[in-house]
Amino acid sequence: MFYVYVLQMQNQTLYIGFTSDLKKRLQEHNKGQSIYTKKFLPARLIYYECYLSDKDAKKRESMLKEFGSTYSHLKKRISASLGDSQGRD
């Protein structure tokens, strides 16, 4: 399986990523092994999607990162999980 995931950082910003091992990747983030998230730990997994194809997962990750409307729609779908977060990283 391949995963697209959203982390909420300590400063309420969001991080979107892709991985084939979600549990391991979340541990790496929280150990400070990601350049992009280590300044804002701890990271909290708030959403993920599963795909059989890595190409599908990478495409979805790109869409979330590149297209504001796709990202905004996702934020609306998971608004209760986000709380007051309005950030994007």
Q: Which amino acid is at 27?
A: Q
Tens of pLDDT along 9-34? 999 899 999 999 999 999 999 999 99
Domains and CATH numbers, the chain: 2-82 (3.40.1440)
Predicted structure pTM score: 0.86
Looking at residue 83, what is its pLDDT? Answer: 78
Contacts 24+ apart (CB under 8 A), 75-84: 75/14, 78/6, 78/46, 78/47, 81/8, 81/46, 81/47, 82/8, 82/14, 82/46, 83/12, 84/12
* Alpha helix positions (H), 1-89: 22-30, 54-66, 68-77, 79-82
Query: Residues 28-65: pLDDT tens digits?
Result: 999 999 998 989 999 999 999 999 999 999 999 999 99
- In the predicted model, is pLDDT for residue 85 greater than 70? no
Is residue 89 scored above 50 in pLDDT? no
